[in-house]
Structure 1
C-alpha cells in the first residue's frame, strides 16, 4: 500500500517540516536556557539556519541514517524546483536544508511519530556536537 504522505509535493513536505523543526527547537532552547525571548531566538537560529540544516543533512547521509523511503523523500526535497530564492545562503545549502525539512514533514504526515521524534532529537544532538567544537 502506498503511503499518502508520498503523494505530497516535496516543497509542501518541507513547508511542514520547517514548522515542526522550528517548534521542536524552540521547546528545546526554552528548556535548556530559560532565557528571555531575544536570547532564545538567537539560540534557536543556530539550530534551524539553512547552514546548520545542510551540515546536519551531510552528517546524517554520511552515517546512512535514513531508510530507503526517507532517502527518496530527502532527494526529492533537495532536487525540487523552488521558485523562492535562498536568503543569506547559497543554493546548494538551501536545497540540502529543504531536503531535510521534507523528511520531517513526510514523517509527520505519515504518522511515524516515533521516527520523527528520533530524527528531531538526532538533529539537536548533531547541532550541539558542532557547537562544542
Structure 2
C-alpha cells in the first residue's frame, strides 16, 4: 500500500494540527467520520472524509471547500494507516451498499444455507465465520 499522505497537497501548519489535535474516528459508508474533540463543542466539528482507493479525497469541512490544499481532517486520516485499512474493509465489492452491522454479525443466523454449494454469505465470509469452499 502506498503512503496516502504523499498524495495530499497541504501545508506544514495543517500537518502539525492533524497530529496534535484530539480527533475521534469512526468508519462509515464511503469513508471516515472525524470528530475534533479539541473544540469546546466537538459535535459541531464533526465531518465526513471520503476515502477513495486508500486516499482521503474530500471532506465536508469548510476549510476543504475553501482552500485548494487538503484540510487537517483529510491529513489526520491519511497519517493513520489503520484507519485507511479499516475504511477499505467497509467497501462492498459487488457495488452493493454497506449495511449496518448492528447485532446481525454477532448471531449464528444468516442466509448461508440458502446459497447452496457451501458458499457463505458476504457477512460470514467478511467476519471470518465461514470460508469459501475448496
The alignment's TM-score, normalised by the length of structure 2, stands at 0.24
- Larger helix percent: 1
The alignment's TM-score, normalised by the length of structure 1, stands at 0.25
Q: Indicate the structure whose relative CO is greater, using CA pairs within 8 Å and at least 6 residues apart.
A: 1
